[in-house]
Structure 1
Amino acid sequence: MAVVLQQNSDTMATTTEPPVAKRLTKEQILKTHNAHLKKQENMPSTAPRPVKQPVMTEAYPASTKSIRDVEIIPLNSLQVESHHLNKGIIVKVVSPPFVGAGAVSIVQDSFGNVEKLSIYNQNDSSILSAVPEGCIVAVKEPYYKHNGGGDGDYIIAVDHPSDVILLRFTDPIIPESLRVGPLLKTAEEWKNAGDTAFLGKDFPTAVFCYSEAIEASEDEKFNAPIYTKRAGTNLVLGRYDAAKADSLASRTNGPGDWKAYYNAGRAAYGLCQYEESKEFLEKALELNSSNNVIRKEYDRCLARLKEQETGEYDFSGMLASLSPTNVHLDRASFLRNTRVAESPLHGKGLFATTELKAGEIVFVEKATLMPNQYEPSRASAALYALTVRQLCDNPSLAKDVLQMYDGGYERSGLEGTIVDGVPVLDVFLIEAIRQKNCFSSPLSTVEDTKPRSPEGRMAKGLWIRAAAMNHACVANTMRSFVGDLLISRATRDIKEGEELFHQYVPVKSLPDLRNQRYKDSWGFECACALCSVEKTSPEANRNKRKELLAQIEKICNKKVPGREIIPDATIRTVDRLAKQLEDAHETELYDGLPRLTLIYSSNWLVGAHRGRKNWGKVIRYGIKVLRNFGFRVPSDESEVWDPRGIYAAQDNKTLMTLHVVTALRRLGEAYGALGQKELAERCVEAAEFGYLLVTGFKNSLTDLD
């Protein structure tokens, strides 16, 4: 489902106001609502559905109570801008819904009071995403607010999806005056209604009707095929928890149970529970060994288990299969090289369970949640909406997602608990988790490195294992993406038990700027080797480096190598300033560490001298580029060295980027031009290895041309 971001401008008040004296009449409310419905008829069906994304300063908790444990109150006792703790309302929907960021319906209580009800954050798989007229709903601890219209215009806003419950027509909690009795009388009629809805592709209604059929019947033989139908419908909707439960409930201890195990296997597969899926499918094959459909699903499951065990993937094949409409790869995660444990740095961290060599896969993780939305203005809202809706549909996901870091959000401790048949979901907690843990992901890192790749095309996703890693500017791993797979590789040799780090965001040259970003976004200050050292550098030196960098950037931004031949005078000026900047780095502090403020000038000088085919100086400044990223290189460009060895040292404190790959390519070009063929080839090999680290798997360097 396409989504667009729509910020919530509601305000919360903690004070209690007296009951509202003036409300719109039922006729006035319906007149306005019907006018909106008319406009809705003219809206294109393909228009993106807005998402009401929470504003964290307006957070209020989700109800953790059952509707049977709160006091049911009439609509006319609701107080404006109040969250009605320990209270609830039961109302009948008396209008078709207007569907926008939420589904707005007109509702009436047992006393004849009428008001607007807006239900947000429901999945399209739920009837609550657009409640049909005549249904009875209960709202726990409702929030009543001004609706932004004139005097008397109010609305009941349900942000938390677990705060609203669709009641069965025969539920005894429904007040007598709202009772209409079941719309259909017999289980057979409900079953037929479910079949009709399914054929019409109205799957939420089909699930509702099949549920009513099961409730209306006590005949196990009659119910078994209804469970099968509901299981199949839930599979279509992606409600795998419910599909698995229904599949197992449909068993009759006969040979026909192969279908129950087959559907349960498919449901477990949808939840990435491949071991369990294999067990179910094996039982299906025992009962129906000649069924090729089961065999195909079983083989697919075995392929996932092999990936899970070995970490062997056809990355190139996966890349070739990607398209803007096909980003979710049918692959398993490989996580056995890592474990989550307490970090001596802060909170949880990720640790190596085995010795890893530079370039080896640390882990490969399939996104728990990642919408196919690459527009920056919509990506965050899309991930938020997907997370809420998937946790509603598959409560088993809540355990892992809701334990993620939330930045200090105040929890009730009951999030994810099943109450009234649904998991308690606090949308403000979910948004806090999204903000602190999501990664930006291109369609593929390979494509993103190419010169003609469109800029800013990033999706947002949650990778739970990757989110457990702490940040370091000089990290020992590097991540890349292919579709919804995150690939982590070691950028140097790693010992068993060593904590693993990656960069949360691209590292800025100046320590105060990059650490301000970390504080603002995640509430920490980086304690990596580089940041720790730079804190000890005298303030006068830090200021001098900042001033010199600003001067260099001002000159270099006006003259870009590759677009023009750079004048000698400009090169000399930049060279002189770069030397001053280098001298401003304390030798004893920066030994073996990156000098980030020097990277820009050394890269620029490589390009400037390459444009003049001054190969000796290309080599000089190419080596400086590597040194400034923290790699151990010759102090003299005439010294014999092997560039392939720059990655392996376990004490490396380097910063790996695409610029390192480019510098190695330029060095290879320069050595080749000077007739040093063997050294040129070694530079190319080192560049290819670096490109593997950057992109996640082996790719041709010609992609960078």
Structure 2
Amino acid sequence: MDLKTLDGNKLIEKIKAQQEMLKSASERQGQRPQDRKSKDEMVHSFMISSMMSQIQMASQRNVIHQSFIPPAYRPSISPLAELRPIFIRDLQLEIHHRGTYLLLKAITPASRMNAVLVIAEDERDEAIMVEIYHQETEDVREATSLIGNDAVLLIKEPYFKVMASGEYGLRIDHLSDIIFVDQTNSMIPTAWRTGGNILETSAESLKLSGHKAVRRGKYWESITMYTRAIAHERATGEEIEVILRNRAFAFLKTQQYDAVLTDLGYHPGCNLKFSEKALYRTAEALYSLGRFSECLEVTRRLHIEFPNNQQAIVMLDRVQNRCSEQQAGTYKFKQLQLDAKRLSIPQLDYATYVGPLEVRNSEGKGRGLFVTKAVKAGDLLICEKAFGYAHVAENSEESSSCTLLVNTETERWFMGGHANLLRTLAQKIHKNPSLAPSFSALFHGDYEGPGTREVDGAPVVDTFLVERIASLNVFGCPPDSSLHTHQRIIQNENIEEKPYQSCGIWIKASYINHSCVGNVRRAFVGDMMIVRASRDLEADTELAFTYKKPSDETAEANKKFLKTWGFTCQCSLCQDVQDTKESVLIKRRKLLRELEKTCGAFPFQLAKFERLLKDVDKTYKQPANIVPRLGIWAPYMLLLRMYAAEKTSREVLVGVENILNSLGFVVHGVNSTSTAFEIVQWGVTQNHLVEVFLHARDAFRTLQLPDDAERATAYARLVFKIVVGENDSFESVHGI
């Protein structure tokens, strides 16, 4: 999205000014600022700023939340016992204070702007601004729930810096670098303790407080109460078992599924001698983690032990469907489309299917995805649910507020879904560290992660590793489905050049490397990516699809574009552009510009248009089935439509053949009544090819060649399946 779309050049100028200010701050590295505000001034300024921000958010449209990513730094991986305490007065600008921790108490309500903000003080009565990034959005968890009144924060190896506002403060980018210290912890100074001695309250009373919080929908508060009850020195084993089940419910509600399984004592192969509630909550957690075969086993046990449990019956049906999808790739695609259309945020309830594929080393490209057996064009290879997904509504009123993320180190800007995705991914692996390995294994360039996944029993999340993986593996996707995109394309809406703002990470699909002339094609239904073979493939063939729209003139642009991934495209198209003389390329571009002018001329000069097309065609030396002629298929499409409206069926079939040939197809029987119509070699698939084959069908019918007409219809359905991801919707779009 162009930044000017929302707020014009002033926004860009402001961002650049802030970038310069942040960069100049590095010149003060190591200083202890002498111009810090007093605690009272800091609190007053913060409260005014917070109030003004809330008013602005409520009254303005097109609000942009700006966030600047600093130069990458590693998270703290030191156990707390190895860190020494420091105080605010010890902090030095632009320094990561390794080997230390800072204990603070919140003295203002938390506020949310581009991060969760709060003013906090240390034991020496000095105050500081704290900015905590990548927390859940306000509609998921309120800032005041994250940092309550008098909350105590422990910041590991604090990073002290000049903020984008010009104030001094602490910036926390890594979710694992902050610990929210419970009031029962002995680290808390006596003067900071609130509400008397909590541990004097009985475990039963603490449990009941947890129940009350659950009834109010305050699940994080309930987790705190249940945790205190479990830790109570007089809690019995039986009480603890019950409270663990209660806490597991709260963990479910906050999407901490790993913690659910830990509290309930589940591990693969355990005896499942659980209570009814424990079995159901275990099944829910396993389902949410995508561990469907384990979920099926637990749900079956639940149904056997408690046959009257209606939730178990519903869950059993759901998980059996997921297992069928996961194991055999059997999907009700029409239902997927309905679900994507129905949901405002189309995160669908389906499993991931991976066909006969294997990740292997790919020469010059790192790792790639290979088929382990021969497949046919249209075969389903992947139907994958997004690991992380950020939806941006197409309707401008729904998407009037967005996030702008600026990486000050790489000077790359991200807006909308791409900016929101970072928070989604970081939160997911922080809450459920069992999911981190598959994500962390994705390509991340030369960035080295911390090498440690857990410290003091808590997960370590490197936000900069997450950002690097996301930026190198993200896929843009339509806000609803490729079906909707296809419908708009065939209505001649020029939308293919517009970048998608919705996006996600699909782990298995991320291993597919780029080629301008791919052999598979991706489509989307909500947050499901569908990958199908776009041509027949032999066993051990590496899969490839385009990372961006291919054209005849992409060789040099692709070199720059693919530098990010560390390889050069060696496809036939790029190789041909490199091998073609510059004078020929200049001539081709000139002819294509003339073609474009001729299209807009009135009256339309058909003979001139056909002559120019032939002249462009002559600038290609390699056969089209080796090097597709992507510059001319669209003009041929215009001709085909004219032939279909005004010419004979034979001329229509000539137009069909020209388009297919230009896209690299090898076909038999287009202009012969004695040879059956057949695709011998598939070329580059396009949305408009459905229309091409339907024109062929109509021409064959007119020529009384019903078998060829039937085959043309079948090819139209097959292309539809490849570009849309399924063909259950074919009749509703194209008729019969």
Is 1:446 the counterpart of 2:483? The answer is: yes
Cα separation, 1, equivalents of 2:145 and 2:356: 42
- How far 1:340 sits from its partner (Å)? 1.3
Q: Give the one of 418, 426, 436 matched to 1:380.
A: 418
Change (3 A) 1:618 1:256: closer
Deviations 1:295-322 (A, max 9, x none): 3212321221121111111101221232
Report how far residue 671 of structure 1 moved.
4.2
Q: Is the 8 A contact 2:323 2:351 kept in 1?
A: yes
Residues of 2 paired with 1:454 and 1:247: CA distance?
54
CA drift at 1:266: 1.0
Per-residue CA shift, 1:339-390, capped at 9, x if unaligned? 2121224111111123212221112111112133335852112222211111
1:694 alignment counterpart: 723
Contact 1:449 1:704 in 2 (8 A): no
1:435 corresponding residue in structure 2: 471
Residue in 2 that maps onto 1:165: 179
- Aligned partner (choices 662, 668, 671) of residue 628 of structure 1: 662
1:354–1:129 Cα change, 3 Å: farther
User: After alignment, is 675-684 or 106-115 more displaced?
Assistant: 675-684
Correspondence for 2:248: 231
Asked if the contact 2:668/2:676 (under 8 Å) is kept, the reply is: no
Establish whether residue 305 from structure 1 lines up as the match of residue 318 from structure 2. no
In the alignment, the residues of structure 2 paired with residue 296 and residue 584 of structure 1 have an alpha-carbon distance, to the nearest angstrom, of: 63
What do residues 205-249 of structure 1 show as CA deviations (whole Å, max 9, x unaligned)?
Answer: 111111111112442111111111111111112211111212227
Question: Is 1:363–1:488's contact at 8 Å kept on the other side of the alignment?
Answer: yes
| 1:594 matched residue in structure 2 | 628
Shift of 1:459: 1.8
Matched, 1:422 2:458: yes
- Root mean square deviation, CA, Å: 3.2
Task: Identify the residue that residue 579 of structure 1 maps to in structure 2.
Answer: 614
Aligned residues: 682
Q: d(CA) in 1 for partners of 2:367 and 2:607?
A: 49
Task: Report the counterpart of residue 244 of structure 1 in structure 2.
Answer: 261
CA distance in 2, matches of 1:353, 1:332: 22
Residues in 1 aligned to 2:573 and 2:162: alpha-carbon distance in whole angstroms: 52
Pairing of 1:74-93 with structure 2 (within 5 A): 74-93=87-106
- Partner SS state of residue 348, structure 1: strand
Q: CA deviation at 1:642?
A: 4.0
State the AA in 2 paired with 1:195: H
Which residue number corresponds to residue 565 of structure 2? Answer: 522
**Is the CA contact 1:354–1:497 (under 8 Å) kept in the aligned structure 2?**
yes
Task: Indicate conservation of the 8 Å contact 1:479/1:694, yes or no.
Answer: yes
Alignment gaps of 5+ in structure 2 = 1-5, 400-414
Residues 152-551 of structure 1 correspond to what in structure 2 (within 5 A)? 153-175=167-189, 178-179=192-193, 182-183=197-198, 185-186=200-201, 187-217=203-233, 218-248=235-265, 257-322=275-340, 323-325=342-344, 327-375=346-394, 377-414=415-452, 417-442=453-478, 443-451=480-488, 458-512=501-555, 514-516=557-559, 518-519=561-562, 522-551=565-594
Structure 2 CA distance for aligned equivalents of residues 45 and 302 of structure 1: 48
Between the aligned partners of 2:419 and 2:386, the Cα distance in structure 1 is 17
Q: Alpha-carbon deviation of 1:467?
A: 0.6
> What is the SS of the residue equivalent to 1:489?
strand
1:424 aligned partner, one-letter code: V
What is the alpha-carbon distance in structure 1 between the residues aligned to residue 49 and residue 455 of structure 2? 34
Indicate which of 155, 169, 172 corresponds to 1:139. 155
Give the CA deviation at 1:15.
6.5
2:625–2:665 CA contact under 8 A, matched in 1: no
The CA distance in 1 between the partners of 2:505 and 2:237, in whole Å, is 41
Q: How far has the Cα of 1:635 moved from its partner?
A: 10
Structure 2 Cα separation of the partners of residues 47 and 273 of structure 1: 42
Task: Quote the offset at 1:149 in angstroms.
Answer: 4.7
Structure 1: unaligned runs, 5 residues or longer: 560-565
Cα distance in 1 between the residues matched to 2:527 and 2:659: 33
> What is aligned with 2:114?
101
Q: Distance in 2 between matches of 1:680 and 1:421?
A: 66
Paired AA for residue 169 in structure 1 = Q
SS at match of 2:221: helix
In 1, the alpha carbon distance for the partners of 2:713 and 2:304 equals 54
User: Are the counterparts in 1 of residues 110 and 144 from structure 2 also a CA contact under 8 Å?
Assistant: no
3-state SS of paired residue (2:388): coil
Name the structure 2 match of 1:562. Answer: none
Q: Structure 1: how far apart are the matches of 2:302 and 2:668?
A: 64
> Cα–Cα, structure 1 residues 636 and 254, in superposed 2: closer, same or farther, change >3 Å?
closer
Give the Cα–Cα distance (whole angstroms) in 2 for the partners of residues 189 and 49 of structure 1: 45
Does 2:80 align with 1:67?
yes
8 A contact 2:213–2:219 mirrored in 1: yes
Q: How far off its partner does 1:622 sit?
A: 2.3
CA distance 1:166–1:280, change in 2 (3 Å) = same
Instruction: Give the TM-score of the pair, scaled to structure 2.
Output: 0.85
Contact 1:138 1:165 in 2 (8 A): yes
Tell me the CA shift for residue 25 of structure 1.
0.5
| Stretch of structure 1 that moved more, 544-553 or 19-28 | 544-553
Counterpart contact for 1:128–1:166, Cα < 8 Å: no
Q: Deviations over 1:589-646 (max 9, x none)?
A: 6553311122232223223444444554433232111101100135984575544x32
**1:27 to partner: Cα distance:** 0.8
Aligned-pair CA distance for 1:133:
1.8
Which amino acid counterpart does residue 310 of structure 2 have in structure 1? N
